[in-house]
Amino acid sequence: MCISIPRSSLCSGFCLPRSSKPQNLRLRRLSRKRRLLKEAKEKKRLRIAKAEMEVKNLKLYLKNRSIIEENEKLRRQAMLLHQENQTLLLQLRKKLPQEKQQQQSQT
């Protein structure tokens, strides 16, 4: 005589109930590992971007310094030209009255 026992009742007595925790734990570890890798990549990208910005900043600083030096040279040159111009004007003013006197004496 064969007794038919439902399969579900056999498993419930002999099989251990499945727990979702080990799978959940694996997923958490994987998620954490992915998150840490993503954070590491982001930190590396930020370090590279920061280094690039520092290089650009240094280049701009050096360019700015050279422009300032050039500006100072041009300012000194302009000042010298202005002084020369003032001297020439003074000489011209001294010379003009003398020429007028000479013209008046000739006439």
For residue 8, the number of C-alpha atoms closer than 13 Å in the C-beta half-sphere is 0
Determine the pLDDT at residue 79.
98
| Higher local confidence (pLDDT), 5 or 49 | 49
Q: Does the pLDDT of residue 77 top 90, yes or no? A: yes
55-93 b/e with 16+ CB inside 10 Å = b? eeeeeeeeeeeeeeeeeeeeeeeeeeeeeeeeeeeeeee
| DSSP for 21-38, written as a single string | HHHHHHHHHHHHHHHHHH
Domain ranges of the chain: 21-99
Per residue in 10-31, pLDDT tens? 555 555 555 555 567 777 888 8
Listing DSSP states for 51-65 in one string gives HHHHHHHHHHHHHHH
Predicted TM-score (pTM) of this structure = 0.52
Give Dmax over CA atoms of the chain in angstroms: 163
Which has the higher per-residue pLDDT, 76 or 16? Answer: 76
